[in-house]
Structure 1
Amino acid sequence: MLTENAKIGFIGTGVMGKSMAQNLQNAGYPLTIYTRTKEKAKSLIHNGASWKSSVAELAQSVDIIITMVGYPADVEEVYFGKDGILENAKPDTYVIDMTTSNPSLAVEIYKQAKDKNIHALDAPVSGGDIGAKSGKLAIMTGGEIQAFETVLPIFKTLGENIILQGKAGAGQHTKLANQITIASNMIGVCEAITYAKNAGLNPELVLDSITTGAAGSWSLSNLAPRMIKGDYAPGFYVKHFIKDMAIALESAQEMGLLTPGLSLSLKLYKEVAENGENDSGTQALIKLFEK
């Protein structure tokens, strides 16, 4: 049973991870962090977080470990091997991977963790930088109900829509369904803005009309205004969305599913990346349409 004084270790303080870690600090949780570059965690350290120089050192010193890294390869690196989380965490530690990753990898982490009496959950999130900052992320979870209920107070610090979707890997599958939905929607948002401009309309006024109707979506309300303003700062990187879509496409193909919208979106985003927008926000897709 975890207490409100449970020590949380956080690995991965990027665009979203940093805000998530900050929310845990604000809620009063003792926070320990590991980053490859200490400078990136400067503000968290200034606010009282402890910094460890390795994953192993962090894993040995906390009760809960949250990971929010970039790619499945990064997840493998921090969880497996003699210097990884699973070889160094204490029994009864709770490990929560909030990275969008392969469902099969989530299952493997769960299996190896269970063998060591460590409780593992896969809990990817949606909501971008806005949701991370406001603590209103959607959290899609896979794993055992006991582990989920134990860490639910922590999830409530990070998000609002928090659902246990099923056994290990279910959180990742749900997040992939989320990304498949966004993939086609982003094309529609770009086409709509381009159409509005070419029709001689004020695109901001158009948004005022269509965001509250049947066309409404998170992307339309939050990313379309950035597109109109030419603001391509990353709330979620193009490169990470490409990674997510590639995982989703591979998973869909394994199930024998046809996903033409996903395939087209992945193709377009790869073109955006080739044009130098890898580190831009996903709203940079509009640049293809503005040509």
Structure 2
Amino acid sequence: MNHSENKAKVGFIGLGIMGGAMATRVAAADYPLHVYNRSRAKAQSLVDAGATWHDTPASLAAVADVIISIVGTPTDVRDLYLGNAGLLANARPAAVLIDMTTSSPALAQQLARDAQARSIDMLDAPVSGGEIGAREGRLSIMVGGSAEALARVEAILHCMGTNVVLQGGPGAGQHTKLCNQIVIASTMLGVAEGLSYARNAGLDVQTVLSSIGSGAASGFLLNNLGPKMANGDFAPGFMIEHFVKDMALAYEEALAMGHELPGLQLAQRLYQQLVETGFARAGTQALVNAYAWGKTDENH
């Protein structure tokens, strides 16, 4: 890596399926990259390419101008940011911290308040686009926080995404991501039900996809995950256990608003059944297994 001397030092925490690909995009843009992950093995390819490894989030925070995190759950976010060993207590003055985890809007608001008290800018910026979007730098990035803070880091975010939109103040990015997950939940029901119907009607599912994939039913989930359903390919681009977490967050927020979301509740129930039958770490397209997939009239 040939880093430009005037580029911000970027710290990246969380190098799973999404984070690893996103950090690689940042490094490819010649930002000096500093990394931490609970499992060092997931960071090794980045370290081999020139990134600096840190044994703790605090040591990373002490040197980074911009810190990006994408971890598992709101509890993970809270543990990472708060406390004496957390990012907020150890970040440099005037640093910008960006949490890209799908997390709680209320937690995002709390972190922004705590950051402001330390003269640190905090953005919540969850993403959509899956593993493919992360690898290709085509994520949609939904930002909550100040326009001024976003302007300081927008070039870095554009390494990872083509659509970077400020949704409002702290927490607005998280609320927008939960809207995204609500839409995905019911759309996945439709894709799985439609393809299950096709198979039970004796149709060739791939041939059906060649027709409905360019009609009014067309969409990212049908055209990208539909073929995987048809092929029995349940390798994760986005794991069911993470989607279940996201749906629970969305349901809790909707409940607090007094807002009924029956499609979301049905998707939650079916996905939870899959978790309980061994599909927790499968991709979300494994939802098709919740249906009578491949039955024929003689074994109904």
Write out per-residue CA displacement over residues 129-178 of structure 1, whole angstroms, 9 at most, x where no aligned residue: 01000100000000000001111101111001111000000000000000
1:268 maps to which of 255, 267, 270:
270
Determine if the alignment matches structure 1 residue 225 to structure 2 residue 227.
Answer: yes
Match of 1:77 in 2: 79
Contact 1:121 1:141 in 2 (8 A): yes
| Root-mean-square deviation over aligned CA pairs | 1.0
Match of 1:89 in 2: 91
* Structural mapping, 1:186-201, within 5 Å: 186-201=188-203
Shift of 1:16: 0.5
- Report how many aligned residue pairs link the two structures: 289
Match of 1:98 in 2: 100
Q: TM-score normalised to the size of structure 1? A: 0.98
Match of 1:15 in 2: 17
Contact 1:196 1:206 in 2 (8 A): yes
Runs of 4+ in 1 over 2 A off after TM superposition: none
SS of residue matched to 2:55: coil
SS of residue matched to 2:17: coil
Q: Aligned partners of 1:132 and 1:142: how far apart in 2? A: 20
Cα separation, partners in 2 of 1:208 and 1:4, compared to 1, 3 Å: farther
Name whichever of 59-68 and 228-237 sits farther off. 228-237
> What amino acid maps onto 2:275 in structure 1?
A
* Structural mapping, 1:104-253, within 5 Å: 104-253=106-255
Contact 1:4 1:29 in 2 (8 A): no
Shift of 1:212: 2.1
Q: Which runs of 5+ in 2 are unaligned?
A: 296-300
Name whichever of 42-51 and 97-106 sits farther off. 42-51
SS of residue matched to 1:223: helix
1:48 maps to which of 42, 47, 50:
50
Name whichever of 11-20 and 37-46 sits farther off. 37-46
Match of 1:282 in 2: 284
> What amino acid maps onto 2:200 in structure 1?
N
